[in-house]
Structures are given as C-alpha cells and as structure tokens.
Structure 1
C-alpha cells in the first residue's frame, strides 16, 4: 500500500510540473524588459535578451568607465544587449569614449538588440562587450544599425 501511494504521489507531482510552466524562465528576447522600461530612456544589459541590467539613461554618457553619469566604471565594455525606449531620437553606441571609434545605432522602432554578438560597429569591431559611450542621435547621423 505504501509503495502504491508513493508511486501515485510521484506521478501527481511530475504531471503538475508538466502543466505549470517554470516561473523563472526568461523571455527569449527583450519584450519583458521593454514592457517595464521607462519612457525616454535607453538601457544596456550585461547578458543577452536584456538580462543583467547595467544601467539606463535619459541623456548622453560619453564615458561609461568614469562613474560620472548614468553608467558606472564597471559598465564599460560589458553590454551584450541594448534597448531604446526613447521618445524622439535614436541611440548611437560607440566603441570609444567621447563618441570616438566606430558606432552602431539602435532605432526607436526596432526597440532592442537582444544579442550584440550579431552586430558590429562601423569599424568592423564586434559590438558585443565593447560599448564605451552613447549619445542620442538623429537617424541621419547613423550609418550602421543594430539588429
């Protein structure tokens, strides 16, 4: 009798797990992050799919490594995904500080780039883990777009 009860209990628990999805599962893109993003801000994340929030900003930050503005010293060269919930502009991300080096832009209509391994700056350098600054920009100033 005890063995039958144990088997039935095990089967019941296993079937419950199959019916209820895991709550800790992450979305396969940045849609959840976009839904919670403040209007007028851009965001950067340490991991793909907008996981591991590095920082967010409504203004420009010409040096993610100096700890002076929105992004702090450890944030430079760490972004693996980015999000644009801006109101009026695109965001240009730069390989160097002060808007130097190559750039890649993220449009408001695109919203996010969930894996920067798929993107490169205008210089050909991978955009993954190499962003050092950003600035809000007009679309006409952008020659390379994140996907």
Structure 2
C-alpha cells in the first residue's frame, strides 16, 4: 500500500476535529459529492456516513463506516463505492514541526476493484489521496486562522 503524507499547520487535535465532523467528509474526500446523513455517534467504531459518489445525475448512494478510532491520532474507515467495491482507509496523525503530519493509506478490500492488480490500483489511489490530504489541510488550517 502506498502511503501519502502531508504536513499540516494545525495540531493533530485540530485536524482530527475535521475528520470527526462527518458533514465535512465530502469537502475533503475526493469522489464524495454530498453527505446525506451522519450517525450521531460518528466517529465511533461502527458509525456511518451516508454519502453519494459521482456527479449529478449519475450519483450512487453508499456509506462509509468507522473500523477504528483513536481521537487525535488515528481513524480507520471502510469506504463503499459500489459497483467498484470497498476500500479500507488508514489516517494517522502525528505531531510534527508545530503542526501535524498526516499519513494516509488506502487499498481495495472487497468487490471488483480488488481484482485489479495492487500496483495498478495504487496508480489511481495515491494521487486521489494526495488531493484528499490537500483538501483536509486547507480545511484544518482555515479553521486555525479564523
């Protein structure tokens, strides 16, 4: 699994507050176009975000749920995007240089996407995750400066 990283000018707690707000999910996750509902317990393990993927009018409704959560440090998600399949996403936050180093890894975990060879899958996943971390940083840093 390829890991992408980004240094963010916000603390791990501040970055995690963006991850913990399920309504912001479509603001930083590339491909998520809207949020339909967020479980009240988000980001506790088992909690779900009900989102849509794609561009109108070709939207697919699906969900992402939490597999693991360590507030301020780690969030592991199972993101569904059928008919492509499901992916497991690891987000780790570490204090660094007065801010936070965010590390993100993802790979297919179920469905047709898993049939694609891993090196080929990563060619599309890594750039998407690089952009997702850029968006996450912009939101977190924007909250710090306001």
Length-normalised TM-score, structure 2: 0.29
Relative contact order higher in (CA < 8 Å, ≥ 6 apart): 2
TM-score by length of 1: 0.29
User: Per residue, is there more strand in 1 or in 2?
Assistant: 2
Bigger-Rg structure (1/2): 1
